[in-house]
């Protein structure tokens, strides 16, 4: 990802002029194409960028005209967004890309990596196998927003939905995205993890059969890995973000500089990240420019266990981006008993999880003062106690299972067997190794649903 590309997207999302310019361009795209998927995609992007009521009405009416007949939702096979998406170069490239892989990697949507074992899962994970005897459906979970289109490209989803319910775990904010609707149909059972209230509300009103459940990617953390280390809190602040201007490291550096020059307070910080547009060298240069290099320590591309160690040795975790998906590091900090500080207008995370136990939000332009205020009372928080009761993979598994069961019962379907537990970790997504071994043969069943040009 180039710096120019990142800056352009940030401008489009975070300035009024940029949003208007981007939205206007998308409207031109929408009315210059006859492809239903492309038109819906452009209209939704315009709506998402501008939040304009008029554009929203146009986009909503278009979705309604495409996805319903006589007031009823069409089947997935009749969904014109799906059919037209499959003709796009993006879909063709996805089929060609995954079609080159071994079938065991293809059905898992897993890109092979050298020196890694078969226990590493991909972006598709089976949480439950279908029961051919009773007709009870299995459950497929798709991780990361880009996987939704790949999934539709690779599999005959029109047939697959007769055997499986689908859970989408988006990695980005804003659900005004045509990728969701290519899986909408009267015969498809799709649940979407929606931690952010605006995204949940949007799907509740404009879901066309897509059902929202109030958990997100961050809720699948492991409290056994992320926990207080017992060591001293060496750092005042920790920031866990990729090295990218979009993450707004500069805001933290400016606040640290102001805290010292204006308030006489020296705040130390641990910066944890990995290359993405920038490298740690760019971060080091920025620290020098702000004159605070002696206050900050950089940790580049470290292990998950090392991240847990550093976060547990910090008094406060800060999230400074204004828009992103369900931030995993925020919840990992809570399990480390480290309170968090998040922008009050953030889009993507569940702001309802910020409370007197877990941390605080800050208003635009108030980062320095908020840092000092929270640090001065950091010992008053009890984030791990709250997190153990409200988040983490065991709570998320239970909540998702309950939502799937309610959905199945509402649709007159059987639900006797619960889903398996999964959690956030680099390789083994299943919470228990035995579950992975049990499900291994079940992935072979998915081969029959691969599209013919993918199977070869």
pLDDT at res. 325: 87
**Cβ proximity of 80 and 39 under 8 Å:** no
Number of neighbours of residue 79 by Cβ within 10 angstroms? 27
The mean pLDDT value for 52-72 works out to 97
Domain boundaries along the sequence of the chain: 1-69, 74-217+396-455, 235-388
DSSP assignment of 75-87: PGGG-HHHHHHTT
pLDDT at res. 113: 84
Using the predicted structure, report yes or no on whether residue 15 has a pLDDT greater than 90: no
Using the predicted structure, report yes or no on whether residue 86 has a pLDDT greater than 90: yes
H-helix segments, 319-360: 328-335
Q: What whole-number distance in Å separates Cα of residue 418 and Cα of residue 435?
A: 13
How far separated are the first and last CA of the chain, in Å rounded? 32
Query: What confidence tier does 238 reach under pLDDT thresholds 50, 70, 90?
Result: very high
DSSP summary character for residue 418: P
Using the predicted structure, report yes or no on whether residue 278 has a pLDDT greater than 50: yes
Query: What confidence tier does 12 reach under pLDDT thresholds 50, 70, 90?
Result: low
**Cβ proximity of 359 and 381 under 8 Å:** yes
Q: What whole-number distance in Å separates Cα of residue 97 and Cα of residue 375?
A: 49
pLDDT at res. 1: 33
Q: What whole-number distance in Å separates Cα of residue 331 and Cα of residue 316?
A: 12
294-330 pLDDT per residue, tens: 999 999 999 999 999 999 999 999 999 999 888 999 9
Question: Hey, which residues does 347 pair with through a beta bridge?
Answer: 323
176-187 pLDDT per residue, tens: 999 999 999 999
Q: What whole-number distance in Å separates Cα of residue 345 and Cα of residue 159?
A: 41
384-415 pLDDT per residue, tens: 999 999 999 999 999 999 999 999 999 999 99
pLDDT at res. 10: 52
pLDDT at res. 438: 96
Using the predicted structure, report yes or no on whether residue 120 has a pLDDT greater than 90: no
pLDDT at res. 97: 94
**Cβ proximity of 103 and 451 under 8 Å:** no
Helix (H, G, I), strand (E, B) or coil at 243: strand
The mean pLDDT value for 210-234 works out to 96
Share of the chain above pLDDT 70, in %: 96
Locus of tokens 């060591």? 231
Share of the chain above pLDDT 90, in %: 91
The mean pLDDT value for 233-258 works out to 97
pLDDT at res. 7: 44
Using the predicted structure, report yes or no on whether residue 14 has a pLDDT greater than 80: no
DSSP assignment of 52-71: -HHHHHHHHHHHHHHHEETT
If phi > 0 it is left, if psi is from -120 to 50 it is alpha, else beta; for residue 264 that is left
Q: What whole-number distance in Å separates Cα of residue 151 and Cα of residue 143?
A: 10
pLDDT at res. 6: 41
Q: What whole-number distance in Å separates Cα of residue 152 and Cα of residue 37?
A: 13
330-352 pLDDT per residue, tens: 999 999 999 999 999 999 999 99
Query: What confidence tier does 119 reach under pLDDT thresholds 50, 70, 90?
Result: confident
**Cβ proximity of 299 and 310 under 8 Å:** yes
pLDDT at res. 393: 98
pLDDT at res. 18: 83
Q: What is the mean pLDDT of the chain?
A: 94
**The CATH classification of domain 235-388, taken from the options 3.55.40.20, 1.10.20.10, 1.10.287.610, 3.40.50.2000:** 3.40.50.2000
DSSP summary character for residue 430: B
């Amino acid at each position: 990802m180039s710096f120019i590309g990142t800056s352009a997207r940030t401008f489009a999302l975070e300035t009024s002029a940029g949003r208007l310019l981007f939205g206007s361009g998308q409207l031109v795209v929408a009315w210059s194409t006859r492809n239903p998927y492309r038109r819906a995609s452009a209209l939704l992007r315009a709506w998402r960028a501008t939040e304009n009521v008029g554009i929203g009405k146009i986009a909503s009416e278009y979705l309604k005209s495409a996805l319903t007949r006589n007031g009823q939702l069409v089947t997935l096979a009749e969904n014109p967004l799906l059919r037209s998406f499959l003709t796009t170069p993006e879909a063709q490239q996805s089929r060609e890309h995954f079609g080159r892989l071994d079938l065991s990697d293809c059905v898992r949507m897993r890109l092979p990596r050298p020196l890694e074992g078969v226990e590493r899962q991909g972006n598709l994970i089976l949480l439950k196998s279908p029961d051919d005897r009773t007709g009870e459906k299995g459950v497929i979970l798709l991780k990361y927003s880009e996987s939704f289109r790949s999934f539709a490209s690779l599999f005959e989803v029109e047939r697959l939905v007769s055997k499986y319910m689908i859970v989408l775990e988006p990695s980005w904010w804003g659900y005004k995205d045509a990728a969701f609707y290519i899986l909408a149909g009267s015969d498809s059972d799709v649940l979407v993890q929606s931690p952010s209230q605006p995204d949940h509300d949007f799907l509740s009103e404009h879901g066309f059969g897509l059902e929202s459940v109030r958990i997100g990617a961050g809720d699948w953390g492991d409290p056994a890995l992320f926990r207080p280390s017992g060591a001293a809190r060496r750092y005042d602040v920790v920031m866990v973000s990729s090295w990218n201007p979009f993450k707004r490291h500069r805001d933290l550096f400016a606040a640290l500089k102001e805290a010292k020059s204006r308030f006489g307070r020296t705040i130390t910080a641990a910066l944890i990240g990995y290359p993405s547009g920038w490298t740690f060298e760019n971060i080091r240069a920025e620290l020098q420019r702000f004159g605070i290099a002696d206050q900050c320590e950089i940790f580049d591309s470290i292990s998950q266990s090392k991240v847990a160690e550093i976060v547990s040795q910090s008094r406060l975790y800060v999230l400074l981006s204004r828009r992103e998906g369900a931030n995993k590091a925020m919840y990992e900090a809570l399990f480390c008993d480290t309170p968090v500080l998040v922008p009050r207008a953030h889009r993507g995370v569940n702001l309802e999880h910020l409370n007197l136990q877990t941390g605080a939000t800050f208003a635009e332009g108030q980062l320095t003062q908020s840092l000092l205020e929270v640090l001065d009372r950091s010992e008053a928080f009890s984030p791990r106690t709250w997190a153990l009761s409200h988040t983490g993979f065991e709570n998320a598994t239970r909540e998702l299972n309950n939502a799937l069961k309610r959905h199945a019962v509402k649709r007159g379907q059987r639900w006797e067997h619960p889903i398996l537990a999964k959690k956030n970790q680099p390789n083994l997504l299943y919470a228990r190794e035995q579950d992975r071994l049990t499900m291994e043969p079940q992935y072979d069943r998915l081969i029959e649903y691969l599209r013919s040009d993918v199977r070869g």
